[in-house]
Amino acid sequence: MNLLTASFIFFLLLFAMQHGMVKTLSLDQNAKNATKPKLAALLAFGDSIFDPGNNNDLQTMTKSDFLPYGMDFVTHRPTGRFCNGKIPTDFIASKLGIKELLPAYLGTDLTNQDLITGVSFASGGTGFDPITSQLAASIPMTRQLELFKEYREKVKGILGEKRATELFSESAYLIVAGSDDLASPYFSSPLWSNHYDFSSYADLILHSASGFIQELIQRGARKIGIVGIPPIGCVPSQRTLQGGFDRGCASNQNEVAQIYNARLVKEVEKIKNSHQNITLVYIDTFGFLLDMIEQPTKYGFEVSYKGCCGTGLLEASFLCNPMTLRVCADVSGYVFWDSFHPTEKAYSMLVDYLYENYIQYLVS
């Protein structure tokens, strides 16, 4: 390139920049923000919906660290996630720009980076009712808080007190529990259901949920999302056990779920009004999942009344194992992976909906 040509190109670019025809090559603020995580970390608590493997080393039958679980995971190996692939916390962590997978706190080799970007304390089979975790031999919600306290000390050791405190306040905290309370013990034990009517049992688990939220706030949480109970009566196992001869949705379970959800909405508002600088979001999954179950073809599915694993009627956890008679030929056509948990595809769609309507409000 000769001097005349170079000069011509220089003046041409200068003219274009002055008239807004091209942008400078330096990164603008929006480009910088596009690659910056929306929140410091993601911390998850609750049951199997958020459990990426905390149950693996427990003496419990509520496990999924064996095939066919994980067959469609990125490694094609079981991790303890109750799904054929990723679970909601993985998709949420990715959408928040934090990391692609949210690891279990227990039983995994976590690096400092793993810890400071968040973990899950969730345990398959647990619930807000203390009896639920006892029956499942899972990690109670109270124990998950103790593990969180232990985790906090580790993070302080990595970052120091000041930076760790900032991280805890700029992290998202997600809670999901209640489904296992209705599946067991409430509707599986006559003694339990005879002791509590629908309203009083909804109040029992609501009281526990409220206390859990308050504990997180006391320990530095400022951005909290709590997930309501889904239409648990419509999952395949509850259709089989409680849905009668035609395996319809178990209406009693859905009724208690809706009572609890309605009261949780009010409790969330009450807690928000009693604390300053707190973002607390109620996350409703009931309507979206019910629509997906009732109209599967609308979402690109074919089957929603049974799971992919085995017969799809009862198999979940230890019943969905390498000796299971069969796994469906095309999992993409199924809403449910086993008789209790959705497929990775269904979870992905659910998280898209939840992020747009609820989770994005934790980002501020």
Q: Give the residue numbers marked as catalytic.
A: 48, 338, 341
> In this structure, what DSSP letter does residue 43 have?
E
CA-wise closest residue to 127 among 257, 319, 217: 257
Task: Provide the 3-class DSSP secondary structure of residue 280.
Answer: strand
The amino acid sitting at 303 is: V
- Give the single-character DSSP code of 226: E
Give how far Cα 247 sits from Cα of 28, 124, 155, 158, 230, Å. 57, 25, 48, 52, 18
What count of other Cβ atoms lies within 10 Å of the Cβ of residue 45? 25
| Pair 353, 277: CB distance under 8 Å | no
Read out DSSP for 62-129?
----STTTTTTSTTSS--S-SSSS--HHHHHHHHTTS-S---BSSSS---HHHHHT--B---TT--SS
Tell me the pairing of strands 303-307 and 42-46: unpaired
Backbone angles phi, psi at 21, to 5 degrees: -80, -25
d(CA 182, CA 127): 9
User: DSSP label at 234?
Assistant: G
- Residues 6 or more apart whose Cβ sits within 8 Å of residue 102: 42, 44, 52, 89, 90, 92, 93, 118, 119, 120
Q: Say if CB 110 and CB 117 are below 8 A apart.
A: no
